[in-house]
Amino acid sequence: MRILVIGSGMAGLTAARRLCAAGHEVTVVDKGRRPGGRMATVTLDDGARADKGAQFFTVRSPEFTAAVEGWLEDGLVHEWCRGFTTADGHPRYVVTEGMADLAMYLTDDVDVCQSVHVDTVRAVDGGWEATWPAGHGGVGGSWHGDAVVITAPVPQAAALLGPGIAVPDIVYEATLSLVVALDGPSAVPDPGGVQLTDDPVWSWVGDNQAKGVSLVDAVTLHTTAEVATSRWDEETAGLTSWLLDSAAPWLGGSAVLDARLHRWRYATPVEPYATRFFEVAPGAYLAGDAFGGPRVEGAYLSGLAVAERIDSAL
Ligand SMILES: Cc1cc2nc3c(=O)[nH]c(=O)nc-3n(C[C@H](O)[C@H](O)[C@H](O)COP(=O)(O)OP(=O)(O)OC[C@H]3O[C@@H](n4cnc5c(N)ncnc54)[C@H](O)[C@@H]3O)c2cc1C
């Protein structure tokens, strides 16, 4: 069976690997330059590395436990801590070279094409067709096959399918991510991360050196959804400067060597769908964290579930 997976984030790569293992002919396409989607890592001017999307992951299900045990054995991930302000006993895992490294690892033995921005998905000749225009370093083209799995955030998936195709109504919160390289230690307390619930600007502050991802000092800060929404349209230089001022208490008086802003329009699905994937029509499926739960593990479980559905439908 020829299957196209749109999206090389955790859900797409998990689905693709499972379908490849079952003997299907699978192609993954993604509009980004690198695999990972919201598992994204940036290298700053002084060589600091920092996760700008997902910061760590937790493990609740037996399926994800088995995967994480393999990654631990391979030395790809390590346990960071068991809680932030207070320890709750549940391990928080990080990818030692940064989250994007896990995505790269998952592309092994899978046909993955980056810089492919799909613009339509439609039923044709008893199968499915996807098309994409040239641009952003890629050439235009199309794919035709038996089944398609779309792991883009649901509003983007709906746009690919066009009007008249019913998809679940999933609302997402936005987040602004500020990544800052410093010339000295940050003021983020041990173990190097704080989840903030009543700060007017920030929901998360993390020290990438403390969590073992960067050799030098670098901090990642995420805004609340309210700040992201109210300041979304501001131009980058002014917004970065305002965010840096707001970040000052966490920077420990160290000088800022580099600062990067990223706007996550579809950061977190507010209320995930009731099932782990959605069948749009025979052979076309939506998957991702909107279905499996709003975290790395949820994306993994959704990718696994949709792959098993496609394989068993044969
Ligand atoms: C700021 C932030 C912090 C987070 N923190 C955590 C955390 O600490 N712990 C945790 O467990 N989770 C966290 N998450 C959530 C976690 O990152 C996601 O749940 C998970 O990575 C989603 O994976 P996914 O495969 O469903 O989607 P994505 O990773 O979004 O993958 C979808 C892919 O589809 C591609 N795509 C979209 N449209 C098209 C198109 N038209 N053509 C081609 N490709 C397309 C995108 O480029 C993307 O790569 C965080 C998320 C954000 C944004």
Task: Tell me the whole-structure pTM to 2 decimals.
Answer: 0.98
C-beta 247 within 6 A of ligand 1: no
Query: Structural domains in the chain?
Result: 2-35+107-170+272-312 (3.50.50.60), 172-269 (3.90.660.10)
C-beta 107 within 6 A of ligand 1: no
Distance CA 220, CA 200 (A): 17
pLDDT given for residue 135 in this prediction: 77
pLDDT given for residue 87 in this prediction: 87
Residues contacting residue 198 through CB under 8 Å, at least 6 positions apart: none
pLDDT in tens, 190-231: 999 999 999 999 999 999 999 999 999 999 999 999 999 999
> Cα of 125 to ligand 1 centre, how many Å?
32
Helix, strand, coil: what percent of the chain each, to 5?
Answer: 25, 35, 40
> Cα of 42 to ligand 1 centre, how many Å?
15
**Cα–chain center distance at 264:** 10
C-beta 156 within 6 A of ligand 1: yes
Share of the chain above pLDDT 90, in %: 94
pLDDT given for residue 136 in this prediction: 66
C-beta 6 within 6 A of ligand 1: yes
Phi first, then psi, for residue 193 (nearest 5°) are -155, 145
Residues contacting residue 118 through CB under 8 Å, at least 6 positions apart: 6, 29, 31, 130, 131, 132, 160
pLDDT band at residue 82 under the 50/70/90 scheme: very high
C-beta 202 within 6 A of ligand 1: no
Are 266 and 156 in contact by the 8 Å Cβ rule? The answer is yes
- Residue 179, strand partner residues: 220, 260
How does DSSP classify residue 135?
B
> Cα of 264 to ligand 1 centre, how many Å?
9
pLDDT in tens, 135-190: 766 788 999 999 999 999 999 999 999 999 999 999 999 999 999 999 999 999 99
Report which protein residue has its CA nearest ligand 1's atom 48: 37
